[in-house]
């Protein structure tokens, strides 16, 4: 993606944020199609279709696997086609997923066909989300200029988690009112509206030069990607296991701890939109990883519920800016026409981290107990901090030469 001119001073502040939101809202739409059926499909597969918990979990996991595998392709095609086309392509993928879900709701009499349609829909949804998410970030950067890439990534994350937070409970309400058929029809309507709004929007030019091959891009961004993967583990263990941690301690209030984590995550991005531009990505990432590690140590050593809640809040606040702060450094390592591939490959490290954190942490928990998971994850985040500080020193040394 070619470097676009930065917006004029009159567009800064509120107008700049509104311009970014007018683009990343398409990622909000794609994540809403993920969030709406998220809490519904496992019960539908298990209770309505009569399949085991394994198949119920597989239907959900297929989307994440598909997202992980298609991320690099989404970035490559964003560089080749332009971000707008990639976003629209991704929204069509979400639309096809909704159609598959409609067909699954209409074929309940043949459970194997219904399950197959759900699986196909989830695979297509994963591709659609990776294209819509990567494309909307690059489209936003193309509209406001690469100077504001950290702000665009931050807003993209806010709408992502906002859509998931809204979508899950809303999906349960819709399902109770009209079943899977009504839910899937609403998903289709959301996709059609998003496509209709995206189609007339101004696009940004695609690169006319040949992009770097995936191996070359991976070689340039794997350092920031590994830091992101280690930092993401903190998010994974809080989101996945804090409920079990509270149950193991005999405490109530795990849901409130998750709320504090989410509020801190979104709040930090809203309160510090210019921190990355002002202080640099590596400095911000170093401070954030330190805060995240302190939060995880607090959870590990918690002797009261409020100590664990404070740890969850600090973990959310710390992890909040890790992705955009390190992401800014990742895209700097490649030419402008390869920013799409770099960002998508970098994001895939977080997808991979969240995909393997659950099984590995679950294995450790089964042998050594739940608290140890938080200690080990805190140490892993400390390792990410050490790598970030080393990368920062290398960057300073290079700038002096």
H runs (alpha helix) in 82-110: 83-106
What pLDDT, on a 0 to 100 scale, did the predictor assign at position 188? 97
Q: What is the 3-state secondary structure (H, E, C) of 170-200?
A: HHHHHHHHHHHHHHHHHHHHHHHHHHHHHCC
* pLDDT for residue 7: 46
CA dist., res. 360 & res. 82, Å (int): 38
Cβ–Cβ under 8 Å, residues 63 and 126: yes
Give 6's DSSP letter: P
DSSP alpha helices (H): ranges in 109-148? Answer: 111-144
Which DSSP symbol is given to 273?
A: T
| Helix %, strand %, coil % of the chain (to 5) | 85, 0, 15
**Contact residues for 122 (Cβ-Cβ < 8 A; gap 6+):** 59, 60, 62, 63, 66, 97
Q: Is 107 exposed, middle or buried (0-12, 13-18, 19+ CB in 10 A)?
A: middle
Q: Which domains does the chain have, with CATH numbers?
A: 9-198 (1.20.1250.20), 214-400 (1.20.1250.20)
pLDDT at 208: 57
For residue 118, which of 99, 133, 132, 90 has the smallest C-alpha distance?
A: 99
Burial label for 149, CB within 10 Å (0-12, 13-18, 19+), is buried
Burial label for 162, CB within 10 Å (0-12, 13-18, 19+), is middle
Nearest CA among 178, 225, 219, 196 for reference residue 347: 225
Q: What is the pLDDT of residue 11?
A: 46
Q: Which helix (H) or strand (E) is 210 found in, with range?
A: none
Q: CA-based angle 138:27:236, to the nearest 5?
A: 100
Q: Two tokens at 140? A: 């936003």
**Assigned token pair, 365:** 């928990």
> To which residue do tokens 């969240």 refer?
354
* CB burial of residue 42 (10 Å; 0-12, 13-18, 19+): middle
Tokens 């696997």 identify what position? 65
Q: Largest Cα–Cα distance in the chain? A: 71
Per-residue pLDDT, 90: 95
Instruction: Give the pair of three-digit tokens for residue 359.
Output: 């099984």
334: nearest Cα among 325, 324, 346, 348: 346
Contact 222, 241 (CB under 8 A): no
Angle ∠(149,196,8) on CA atoms, nearest 5: 35
Instruction: Read off the DSSP letter of residue 209.
Output: S
- The tens place of each residue's pLDDT in the chain, 401 residues long, gives 444 444 444 446 678 888 888 899 999 999 899 888 877 888 888 888 988 877 877 787 788 788 888 887 888 888 788 889 999 999 999 999 999 999 999 999 999 999 999 999 999 999 999 999 888 988 888 887 777 777 888 888 888 878 877 887 888 899 999 999 999 999 999 999 999 999 998 877 665 556 667 677 788 888 899 999 999 998 888 877 887 888 888 988 877 888 888 888 888 888 887 788 888 889 999 999 999 999 999 999 999 999 999 999 999 999 989 988 998 888 878 777 777 778 778 888 888 887 787 778 888 887 888 889 999 999 999 999 999 998 887 665 555 55
State the Cα–Cα distance between residues 78 and 342, nearest whole angstrom.
11
Q: Is 2 helix (H, G, I), strand (E, B) or coil?
A: coil
Burial (CB count within 10 angstroms: exposed 0-12, middle 13-18, buried 19+), residue 3: middle
pLDDT of residue 10: 41
């Amino acid at each position: 993606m070619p470097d676009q001119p930065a917006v004029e001073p009159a567009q800064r502040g509120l107008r700049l944020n509104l311009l970014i939101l007018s683009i990343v809202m398409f990622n909000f739409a794609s994540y809403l199609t993920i969030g709406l059926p998220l809490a519904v499909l496992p019960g539908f597969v298990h209770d309505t279709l009569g399949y085991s918990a394994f198949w119920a979990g597989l239907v959900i996991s297929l989307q994440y696997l598909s997202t992980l595998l298609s991320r690099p392709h989404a970035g490559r095609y964003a560089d080749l086609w332009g971000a707008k086309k990639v976003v629209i392509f991704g929204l069509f993928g979400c639309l096809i997923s909704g159609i598959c879900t409609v067909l699954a709701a209409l074929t309940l009499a043949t459970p194997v066909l219904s399950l197959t349609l759900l699986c196909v829909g989830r695979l297509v949804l994963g591709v659609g989300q990776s294209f819509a998410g990567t494309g909307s970030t690059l489209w936003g950067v193309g509209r406001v200029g690469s100077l504001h890439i950290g702000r665009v990534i931050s807003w993209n994350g806010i709408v992502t988690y906002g859509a998931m937070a809204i979508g899950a409970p809303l999906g349960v309400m819709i399902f109770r009112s009209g079943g899977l058929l009504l839910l899937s029809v609403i998903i289709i309507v959301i996709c059609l509206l998003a496509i209709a709004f995206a189609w007339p929007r101004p696009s940004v030019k695609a690169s006319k030069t040949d992009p770097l091959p995936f191996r070359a891009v991976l070689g340039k961004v794997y350092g920031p990607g590994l830091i992101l993967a280690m930092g993401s583990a903190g998010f994974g263990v809080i989101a996945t296991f804090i409920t079990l941690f509270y149950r193991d301690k005999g405490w109530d209030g795990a849901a409130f701890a998750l709320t504090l984590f989410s509020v801190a995550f979104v709040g930090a991005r809203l309160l510090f939109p210019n921190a990355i531009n002002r202080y640099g990505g590596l400095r911000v990432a170093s401070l954030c990883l330190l805060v995240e590690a302190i939060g995880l140590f607090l959870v590990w050593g918690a002797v009261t519920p409020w100590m664990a809640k404070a740890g969850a809040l600090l973990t959310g606040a710390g992890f909040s800016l890790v992705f955009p702060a390190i992401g800014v450094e990742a895209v700097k390592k490649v030419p402008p026409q390869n920013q799409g591939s770099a960002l998508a490959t970098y994001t895939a490290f977080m997808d991979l981290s969240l995909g393997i954190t659950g099984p590995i942490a679950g294995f450790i928990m089964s042998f050594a107990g739940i608290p140890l998971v938080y200690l080990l994850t805190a140490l892993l985040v400390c390792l990410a901090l050490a790598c970030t500080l080393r990368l920062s020193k290398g960057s300073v040394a290079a700038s002096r030469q």
